[in-house]
Amino acid sequence: MAAASRANMLMKAAAEVTLTPEGRATVKTAMTDIGTGSYTILAQITGEMLGLPIDKVDVTLGDSLLPPSSGSGGSWGANSSGSAVYVACEGVIAEIANRLGTTPAEMSMKDGDVIVGNRRVPLAEAIGADPISITGEIEPGETKKRFHQAGYGAHFCEVAVNCHTGETRVRRLLTVAAAGRILNEKTATSQCYGGQIWGIGTALTEELQIDPRSGLIVNHDLAGYHVPSNADVPKLEVVLLPEHDASPARSRRRASANWRWPVSARRSPTRSTRLRRAGARLSGHARPDHRRPAGQAVSLPVRGVRHARTSRIPSATDQPRSVPVRSWITSARGSTSRAASSRSWRGEKGLPTIPADAKPAGRFSRP
């Protein structure tokens, strides 16, 4: 079990909302949707505020000619731009109330109509011939200086470790998050799934290797840097706890940030256990199986149930492992032997290794 938190960040942003007599709304802001659902979230906020179905809301993003926004990153996209859209919708409602000679508190909008007391007014009549266009802006205020705001959660992980080989398997991973009002449960849950997989990779399969002699990154591609595959990921569970914020107009800012609330990879309780490319390790080495003689080969799965590589059980007389290198080695004469380099690169078992007695070359070049 481990705890997690994600700071709530609000950046300066602006958005324009236009409502036409035909009952269509247009949202414009310069933020970008990087695949996390910004179009959907901004349309949901506008539709809820103006009483319109989501298919009546058009969202335009990603143009520098539009009202400036904070962009997408660090969980502040929907948090900041969503708040700007909220403020713009409040302005549209205030303008409609002014045209009807009432106040925003005395009216509501539903199904394309404006409701004032017992009277239901169609939008075309309430707005008139000219559309209403309002630009809303949001920026950090005194609250940011006085209080720390964050979303909180807890992770529960069930892990199985082979005491003889050090092979580690995640059997189950549960995340419980308290993130304010969740604007879209599907996209918020997907963000948590991504964070869980990220945590598995950080703790068990991913490891950046650098050649200490040259400073070059050895595993600079997906063949050597192992991100979790489907076989590495167990059953994932996410529970989003409902929360109420006492500030209705500003609660959107806090909840919007948690639309992209990530699970920190650093919270994995198995962070100290990693898998190397040459086999599994637990605290540096696979633990010896005393039922087998030292030096005997064993099958050691690394990338899930479908892939296995062969590794020796370490013995007390074993020498330090050779250094893996993803480079071509230039000989002392300055020429490169493709055959020798290929053998040194792949090794006998398909692993990028250099013999332990090899001497550093004068220079390195990428293949």
pLDDT tens across 161-186, in order?
Answer: 999 988 889 999 999 998 888 888 99
CB-CB neighbours of 357 under 10 Å: 7
Q: Which helix (H) or strand (E) element contains residue 110?
A: strand 107-110
> Which residues, including other chains, have CB under 8 Å from residue 248's CB and lie 6 or more apart?
none
| Segment 82-103 mean pLDDT | 93
The closest alpha carbon to 246, from 237, 257, 254, belongs to 254
Residue 158 has pLDDT above 60, yes or no: yes
Which residue has 């290794």 as its token pair?
A: 353
Q: How far apart are CA 124 and CA 112, in angstroms?
A: 9
Which of 55-59, 110-114, 128-132, 286-290 has the largest mean confidence?
55-59
Average pLDDT over residues 324-334: 34
Between CA 324 and CA 13 the distance in angstroms is 48
Contact 27, 86 (CB under 8 A): no
Task: Output the pTM of the full model.
Answer: 0.65
When pLDDT is averaged across residues 28-33 and rounded to a whole number, the result is: 92
Instruction: Report, as an integer, the average pLDDT of 303-331.
Output: 39
CATH fold for domain 2-146: Aldehyde Oxidoreductase; domain 4 (3.30.365)
Encoded amino acid at 345, one letter:
W
Q: Which of residues 337 and 315 earns the better pLDDT score?
A: 315
DSSP for 198-233, please give it. HHHIIIII----B-TTT--BS--STTTS----GGG-
Q: Give the mean model confidence (pLDDT) for residues 237-257.
A: 60
Provide the b/e sequence for 48-59 (b: ≥16 CB within 10 Å).
bbbbbeeebbeb
pLDDT of residue 245: 63
Among candidates 171, 168, 207, which has minimal Cα distance to 286? Answer: 168
Average pLDDT over residues 300-329: 39
In whole angstroms, give the CA distance from residue 272 to residue 256. Answer: 33
Average pLDDT of span 63-67: 93
**What pLDDT digit, counting tens, does each position of 294-308 carry?**
444 444 344 443 333
Domain boundaries, the chain: 2-146, 151-275, 320-367
Q: In this predicted structure, which of 46-60, 198-212, 331-345 has the lowest mean pLDDT? A: 331-345
Question: With 70 as the cut, is the pLDDT of residue 99 above it?
Answer: yes
The answer for residues whose C-beta is within 8 angstroms of residue 236's C-beta and 6 or more apart is 173, 175, 193, 196, 197
Is it the case that residue 188 has pLDDT exceeding 80?
Answer: yes
Residue 308 CB neighbours (<10 A): 15
Q: Assign 29 a pLDDT band (cuts: 50, 70, 90).
A: very high
- Asked, colleague to colleague, whether 2-146 and 151-275 share their fold, the answer is yes
Q: What is the average pLDDT across 297-324?
A: 40
Q: Could you identify the residue written with the tokens 């007389």?
A: 317
Confidence band, pLDDT 50/70/90 cuts, at residue 146? confident
The pLDDT tens digits for 346-364 are 333 444 444 445 444 444 3
| Greatest distance between any 2 Cα atoms in the chain | 94
Pick the CATH number of 151-275 from 3.20.20.10, 3.40.30.10, 3.30.365.10, 3.40.1410.10: 3.30.365.10
251 — pLDDT class (breaks 50, 70, 90) = very low
Over residues 98-119, mean pLDDT: 90
260 secondary structure, DSSP code: G
Q: Provide the β-strand partners of residue 27.
A: 17, 59
User: Which of the four pLDDT bands, split at 50, 70 and 90, describes residue 288?
Assistant: very low
pLDDT given at position 6: 83
Output the pLDDT for position 112: 86
